[in-house]
Structure 1
Amino acid sequence: MKFGKELASQMVPEWQDAYMNYHLLKSILKDIESNTDRERNSNRTSTSRTPSKSMTGTQKRKGSAAYRDFSGLTRRHNTKGSSSVPEEEQVILVNMVTSGEDQNSETSKYETMFLMSSEEGGEYELLFFHALDEEFNKVLKFYKSKVEEVQKEAKELNKQVDALVAFRLQVHNNSPRLGFAAAEEDEAEALSPSSKVNNTRTSGSGRAHIDIINETELSSEGCPEGKGKGSNEAKTSNQKNVEGKRNSTSRRPTPAQVLENFKINVTDETPWSILTSMLVSSNHESTFSREELRKIEEQLERAFIEFHQKLRTIKSYSFVNILAFSKIMKKYDKITLRSASKSYLNMIDNSYLGSSDEVRRLVEKVEATFIKHFSNGNRRKGMNTLRPKAIKKKHRITFFLGFLFGCSIALIAAIVVLIHVKDILNSEGRFQYMENIFPLYSLFGFIVLHLVMYGANIYFWRHYHVNYPFIFDFNQGTDIGHREVFLLSTGLAVLSLTGVLSTLEMEMEQDLRSFEALRELVPLGLLIVLLLITVCPVNMIYRSTRYFFLQSVLRCMFAPLYKVTLADFFLADQLTSQVQAFRSLEFYICYYGWGDFKRRRNNCQQSDVYKAFYIIVAVIPYWIRFLQCLRRLFEEKGANHAYNGMKYLSTIVAVVMRTSYDLKKGMTLKIMAGLTSVIATIFGTYWDLVMDWGLLQRTSRNRWLRDKLLVSDHRVYFAAMIINVLLRLSWMQSVLDFHEAPFLHRKALSAIMACLEIIRRGMWTFFRLENEHLNNVGKFRAFKSVPLPFNHDEDEDE
């Protein structure tokens, strides 16, 4: 693999603009190489004609170097980075230009003086070093800012650990004076790799709680007189040290006094707790219970894990960029036959980027602190928690994916052959089948299609380096890839197609007609199996992903009472494209609850209650999004959330009008349905293209698109915009009565329209996340901000 591709694969996607632009510098080197080739060719021609009067490029450079050495040009600009290079071989001089005395300030920059610019083609090399300096200064400035950022976060985490130790001592009723005095002394270097745990004790919840005892005090109190090994002077000195420590201990605050400067920021994120905080005072008083301590530890543990990951990423950023500069300089030496890399790389080694040790020391301190306080001193356990968990690719997933895909194709072929051989399309029960059985199985088709679109999105996200696990806030190492999603979709497809085939077989075969009740219960059995797998507590079939999905569903159900995250409103947007699936669930209740499923009949569709819920079920996903917009408007005070809520409100009105016209014909309802649908379509299309996708920007350098695009072919974006508009007009089939076409059953037409909406949503999903990813790239947001359990007073004196 070429280094350019390797560099791109190791980049943090959100920091890609902060890395050294290897391709830019490589393109400049290609210009230098082409110019050098022309120069060499001309030298060969001149040598063949007049060999005694010509010199090669290397001889010219040696001669010019000797002249500069004789004239003393290099002696006046000697630098530390280039002192190890012989003066006659010096090509560049690298100087640091600062606006103040602090060489590590953000205003300091490095400038390279190219000493051979007068040679033929020297302007290209001068341009190369100018671009090289710009890239290095950019990397250096970004690295300094990130190091300063993590140093501030380390201080904050240090204070959090101090409060945690005090809180633990309060919970476990340790000696307020002696216990906390030793704890505070140990926490003075809370992020220190040399700190040790003298005594650990595990609580009932299984976590390590630290109870540190002053060893000097303990040994002096327990030592009988006359049995010490040291001299009297040593004993006197030891007693003075003990008395000094006791005096300092008496001046140290108790855990209660320390916690007075902290406010605990741990609350249950449940609808009941949120309603309670809204109705009662929001001030949270600590109960010093073990449950509260457990929540604090979990929250602080997540903060340490995220901080450790950030430190490792910054360390990798420094290493990758130094390697990139080394590669590009050695390529420069190879092309130009010079030896400038040694001087420039010496400068990099002596710079803040190459010589600073703060990140490495912080990594060691964080690991030591985490092992001591969160893994009971067990280093292996602590490091397994801190280190990122790599997802192991299993070949059996690919095997079963191919196997199930082949089975689904075979089942589809078998169903088509059976329908053709038995002439089911012309049988007497075809209308009864379409009215009762087809809506039951169509539910699984909608789910399978949505999973296929999601798997395709994951494939393209990974191809274009979209950091979707970070955007969705997946737990580290628990996100699944496109192969796993395709495996789930093909597995569900095989189950549902097997049910369809078995239902047709039992219906058409005379010997199997006695199993009418079993035949009609097959779809219900499939639905029950799907629900059981979704909520199964056993660690199988991607339990972490299933539980993450269920948690998002729960937060969507109680939309205004939970803080809205991107995963929550993203899921709610997906549910707006599954309206027909919700109606299929309603039909399950209708068919098996109030219908005569043994005779394949139902009368509940003519019920007013069913019609009312037919409208309510279609509105639920849009209502959830409307409530989420209200919650975000209340918290963030952004006008865009109000406009977005109005968009969903207009869609709710349009859906109610269209469904009312579908259930009860009338010219007035038809006009209202058409008018409201047009307004909702215009509003929704504009929001999709401009707000969600970030397109249709007139001032962009990519006309009518964005400044930054992941897909190089711009036609993809224009095609997606056109398809989005066309698919959004699918509501016209209900207003223009296309469902009454004689060549297609209305249930089948509704299913086709629902599939088109799912495809549109799948396209929307890719471009929506692409825009979110580019927004994070523009702001260099590569890590999630974990809320800390303690809020402390910022006044240092207090």
Structure 2
Amino acid sequence: MKKSGDYSPSTFRSGLLLMAGTLFAIQGLVYASDRLGSSEVSEQVRTSYLLQIYGGYFLIVFHVLLFCLDCMIWTKSKINYAFVFEYDTRHTLEWRQLLEIPSFFIFLMGLFMWLNFSWMNSMYIYWPVVLIGLSVSIVFLPARVLYHRSRKWFAFSNWRLLLAGIYPVEFRDFFLGDMFCSQTYAMGNIELFFCLYASYWTNPVKCNSNHSRLLGFFTCLPAVWRAFQCIRRYADTKNAFPHLLNLGKYIFSVLYYATLSMYRIDRQTRFQASFITFALLNAVYTSVWDLIMDWSLGNPYAKNPLLREVIAFRRVWVYYAAMVLDVVIRFNWIFYAIWSHDIQHSAVLSFVVALSEIFRRGVWSIFRVENEHCTNVLLFRASRDVPLPYEIPDVPTPGLDGPQSDDVQLQEQQHVATPFLQPADIEQGAATTSSLRARNRRPSAGIIRVGTIVASAHAQDFQRRRLPTYMSNASMSHEIHHTPDDSTDEDEDVALTTDDDSGSIADAAHEESQLPPTERQSPTMRRIVE
């Protein structure tokens, strides 16, 4: 496996592209503000709608940029996100390499904004078409260039999300679905984009949120995808909790965006009460789910109150800050209710609310993956340490061959009485120990059971993909290996050969399992023979 090298060129290119794109975008916005103050009404209208299209494009790229920063935080904190996302460790991009992608698209956006608003010509309304067409062509380009394996992985992940409910739900599926749930502004821009260019900009007002029901449908679509994923998880596991409860959360999200669309379309504000009701229920529901389920926080018996027993970040205050920030931004819908005189809501207000939601999702991603990593460590699916090349004999437990002492029995009772910290229900994993402070509090059995179920619910959101033998061993024993995405075809041939070898190894293991116990080889002897 290739070792990670010097990523200074990637850092230099990312910084150069980010700076150039930012400068072009700022200059383009200055020109656009002059166009908005023009005496010609048609020029004002066209410029305002062009800015909305660029705004949706920016939110998508900004979201990817936040994900790159999240990868940097996970890397610095030794959080094995490559294992959580089940990346192919042979071709995983290092976060500095990944940063080149949003940096390049920010440069493209800034350049096209500068070209678009610098002067009026026949191409004035068609620059966004060229930008979006070029961006889609680059992302889904089938050629073996520009990190083609990563682009292929991303394209196939979007395909799995589009057909949500048909494919088994892996971590990347529901994670990407949640990312789309924060991109409602960009999803609504799909309708706006095609509506404007289908009518040749003859009547742009008809494409607004106060006239188009199709725009409301596109904003509901990400929540519908996630709802289908919850149904698929329930069909696969038959566990009503947490999948049906999670399904209810996304049903409330659909009702929230549907009533918001009706509230904007109806000028008499007949749907104001229903919008506020479903928006409040959705905000409370999702806030509690974020903190208790996705982040597994809120344990009053933990060493740090209202957190969890095992945390990956050293600074405890970041958890409390994230909890407050998440709840506050979840209630950003209040701005729609406050400005009731503007039922259709200005494009600036919608953009600011969407931008705050993107930022909240970036923070949510940090702690969601961190929570999953801590669970993997507890269940011995991942480790920060490299395993030894030999086995360590088990230490004999006192009292196995005879009656247990009172101290041992007392310790076992105190261990059982620890809520929120026994993930024995997580995919049949092993139970973990807790702190002395939690042991001395001895809550009731009902609290123990509820706390255990709640703390382990986040691990049931997805189905872990079965990797080949060599892949799973490499992922569990190695923390994070970042390799450039420029391997040759010989690497793929080696991978295919290894897959065949892993199958033969599995067959040999099965044949050996049929032998009597006395004829089987110990793991140490088998390693020596090999």
Give the letter for the 2:18 counterpart: F
Q: Are 2:59 and 1:446 aligned?
A: yes
**Structure 1 pair 795–703 and aligned structure 2 pair: CA distance change class (3 A):** closer
**Structure 1 pair 739–560 and aligned structure 2 pair: CA distance change class (3 A):** farther
Give the letter for the 1:579 counterpart: T
Give the letter for the 1:443 counterpart: G
What residue is the counterpart of 1:583 in the other structure?
A: 188
Give the letter for the 1:659 counterpart: S
Q: Are 2:237 and 1:636 aligned?
A: yes
Contact in 2 for aligned 1:622/1:648 (Cα 8 Å):
yes
Give the letter for the 1:786 counterpart: L
What residue is the counterpart of 1:70 in the other structure?
A: none
What residue is the counterpart of 2:141 in the other structure?
A: 536
Q: Are 2:93 and 1:480 aligned?
A: yes
Q: Are 2:20 and 1:407 aligned?
A: yes
What residue is the counterpart of 1:772 in the other structure?
A: 372
What residue is the counterpart of 1:550 in the other structure?
A: 155
Q: Choose which of 208, 212, 226 in structure 2 pairs with 1:611.
A: 212
Give the letter for the 1:571 counterpart: L
Larger radius of gyration, structure 1 or 2?
1
- List aligned pairs for 1:71-86, cutoff 5 A: none
**Structure 1 pair 738–408 and aligned structure 2 pair: CA distance change class (3 A):** farther
**Structure 1 pair 667–587 and aligned structure 2 pair: CA distance change class (3 A):** closer
Contact in 1 for aligned 2:23/2:110 (Cα 8 Å):
no
**Structure 1 pair 774–739 and aligned structure 2 pair: CA distance change class (3 A):** farther
- 1-structure distance, mates of 2:340, 2:104: 34
- 2-structure distance, mates of 1:671, 1:603: 26
Q: Give per-residue Cα distances to partners, 1:358-377, cap 9 Å, x unaligned.
A: xxxxxxxxxxxxxxxxxxxx
- 1-structure distance, mates of 2:193, 2:28: 23
The percentage of aligned residue pairs carrying the same residue is: 25
How does the TM-score come out when normalised to structure 1? 0.47
Q: Are 2:308 and 1:703 aligned?
A: no
What residue is the counterpart of 1:567 in the other structure?
A: 172
Bigger helix fraction = 1
What residue is the counterpart of 1:519 in the other structure?
A: 124
- 2-structure distance, mates of 1:482, 1:720: 23
Point out where structure 2 has 5 or more consecutive residues left out of the alignment.
Answer: 384-464, 469-501, 516-530
Q: CA deviation at 1:390?
A: 3.0
Q: Choose which of 36, 40, 46 in structure 2 pairs with 1:433.
A: 46
Secondary structure at the aligned position of 1:389 is classed as coil
Contact in 2 for aligned 1:733/1:739 (Cα 8 Å):
no
What residue is the counterpart of 2:460 in the other structure?
A: none
How does the TM-score come out when normalised to structure 2? 0.69
- 1-structure distance, mates of 2:359, 2:275: 24
Q: Choose which of 225, 249, 267 in structure 2 pairs with 1:647.
A: 249
What residue is the counterpart of 1:786 in the other structure?
A: 467
- 2-structure distance, mates of 1:607, 1:438: 15
- 1-structure distance, mates of 2:345, 2:208: 19
**Structure 1 pair 766–795 and aligned structure 2 pair: CA distance change class (3 A):** closer
**Structure 1 pair 718–481 and aligned structure 2 pair: CA distance change class (3 A):** same
- 1-structure distance, mates of 2:200, 2:172: 41
Q: CA deviation at 1:722?
A: 0.9
Q: CA deviation at 1:606?
A: 7.0
- 2-structure distance, mates of 1:474, 1:606: 40
- List aligned pairs for 1:137-536, cutoff 5 A: 388-415=1-28, 417-418=30-31, 422=34, 424-425=36-37, 427-429=39-41, 431-507=44-120, 515-516=121-122, 518-536=123-141
What residue is the counterpart of 1:757 in the other structure?
A: 357
Secondary structure at the aligned position of 2:125 is classed as helix
Contact in 2 for aligned 1:739/1:749 (Cα 8 Å):
no
Q: CA deviation at 1:559?
A: 1.2
Q: Give per-residue Cα distances to partners, 1:579-633, cap 9 Å, x unaligned.
A: 110111111111111x223x6x43542799x723212111111011111111111
What residue is the counterpart of 1:87 in the other structure?
A: none
Secondary structure at the aligned position of 1:560 is classed as coil
Contact in 2 for aligned 1:572/1:624 (Cα 8 Å):
yes
Q: Give per-residue Cα distances to partners, 1:648-668, cap 9 Å, x unaligned.
A: 111111111111111113444
- RCO comparison, higher one (Cα < 8 Å, 6+): 2
**Structure 1 pair 535–586 and aligned structure 2 pair: CA distance change class (3 A):** same
Contact in 1 for aligned 2:7/2:96 (Cα 8 Å):
no
Contact in 2 for aligned 1:739/1:746 (Cα 8 Å):
no
Q: Give per-residue Cα distances to partners, 1:502-548, cap 9 Å, x unaligned.
A: 121122xxxxxxx32x2211100100001111111112221111111
Give the letter for the 1:718 counterpart: Y
- 2-structure distance, mates of 1:423, 1:589: 23
- 1-structure distance, mates of 2:96, 2:268: 49
Q: CA deviation at 1:499?
A: 1.3
Give the letter for the 2:467 counterpart: V
Q: CA deviation at 1:716?
A: 1.1
- 2-structure distance, mates of 1:731, 1:684: 13
Q: Give per-residue Cα distances to partners, 1:699-750, cap 9 Å, x unaligned.
A: 1111011112222222211111111111111112223326839xx9811211
**Structure 1 pair 607–726 and aligned structure 2 pair: CA distance change class (3 A):** closer
Q: Are 2:330 and 1:731 aligned?
A: no
What residue is the counterpart of 2:260 in the other structure?
A: 658
What residue is the counterpart of 1:677 in the other structure?
A: 279
Q: Give per-residue Cα distances to partners, 1:128-173, cap 9 Å, x unaligned.
A: xxxxxxxxxxxxxxxxxxxxxxxxxxxxxxxxxxxxxxxxxxxxxx
**Structure 1 pair 488–641 and aligned structure 2 pair: CA distance change class (3 A):** same
Contact in 2 for aligned 1:658/1:735 (Cα 8 Å):
no
What residue is the counterpart of 1:349 in the other structure?
A: none
- 2-structure distance, mates of 1:404, 1:480: 19
Secondary structure at the aligned position of 2:145 is classed as coil
Give the letter for the 2:143 counterpart: V
**Structure 1 pair 424–654 and aligned structure 2 pair: CA distance change class (3 A):** closer
- 2-structure distance, mates of 1:603, 1:753: 21
Q: RMSD over aligned Cα, in angstroms?
A: 2.8
**Structure 1 pair 739–767 and aligned structure 2 pair: CA distance change class (3 A):** farther
Secondary structure at the aligned position of 2:126 is classed as helix
- 2-structure distance, mates of 1:541, 1:769: 27
Q: CA deviation at 1:410?
A: 2.4
**Structure 1 pair 536–393 and aligned structure 2 pair: CA distance change class (3 A):** farther
When the two structures are aligned, how many residues end up with a matched partner? Answer: 396
Q: Choose which of 626, 649, 656 in structure 1 pairs with 2:227.
A: 626
- 2-structure distance, mates of 1:394, 1:710: 26
Secondary structure at the aligned position of 2:142 is classed as coil
